[in-house]
Structure formats: structure tokens, C-alpha cells
Amino acid sequence: QKEVEQNSGPLSVPEGAIASLNCTYSDRVSQSFFWYRQYSGKSPELIMSIYSNGDKEDGRFTAQLNKASQYVSLLIRDSQPSDSATYLCAVRRSGGSYIPTFGRGTSLIVHP
């Protein structure tokens, strides 16, 4: 079983719609959760981090965490063509060496 699983996509949504990206993880002691955006040929860029159950909003982005279900999601409201990228979910245990484990990423395409 992979530690962090994401649907590779592509997820295609029309401009202005809500894009919903999902991630499940296997390690129950995971405490920190991150969403990175990676444009083609570029390096990952952190867009959201979440540590507690519930929702965290930042602009058009909302991260949702459910530790009981071992599930974290990212919602992008009012999707724009510039949001087209691969979104990487990363999960990290508490304490220790603070090493995040990345999923393979979901490709998002926002079409005009």
C-alpha cells in the first residue's frame, strides 16, 4: 500500500468551477499535511498547509483534513486557466526528522 495516494488525473474543470483534489494516506501518526503546486518543468511550490481536523481557507484555496478517515483534500474555487498544474499532496509524521512523503500528484486542467 502506497503511503500517500492521489488520483493522477487529469482532472478537467471549466473556468470558474470548483476543482476538488483528494489525497489519502496510510500512516495514522501523520500530523502535518501540505499541498504543493507544480507547473510543468518547474519545482513544487507550497500553497497550503494544514495540521488540525477541519477546513483551512486561504483565498480561493480551502484545505480539508479528516484524520479519522485519513483523508485530506484541496478545493480551488473560481478555477482559472493559470491553476492548471500538478498538485502534490505531502504528509509528514510528528517529531523525528520532519520528512514529508509526497504523493504522485494530480494533474489539473482548467479549460476556458
Shortest CB 2 distance to another protein, Å: 10
Task: Yes or no: say if 31 and 94 are a contact pair by the CB < 8 Å rule.
Answer: yes
In DSSP terms, 21 is beta-bridged to 74
Residues counted in the chain: 112
Site for another protein in 45-64 (CB under 8 A): 45-46, 49
User: Of 10-18, 56-64, 77-85, 92-100, which part binds another protein (CB under 8 A)?
Assistant: 92-100
Q: What are the angstrom distances between the C-alpha of 6 and each of 12, 78, 112?
A: 15, 22, 25
Shortest CB 69 distance to another protein, Å: 21
* Binding residues vs another protein (CB under 8 A): 4, 8, 32, 42-46, 49, 88, 90, 97-105
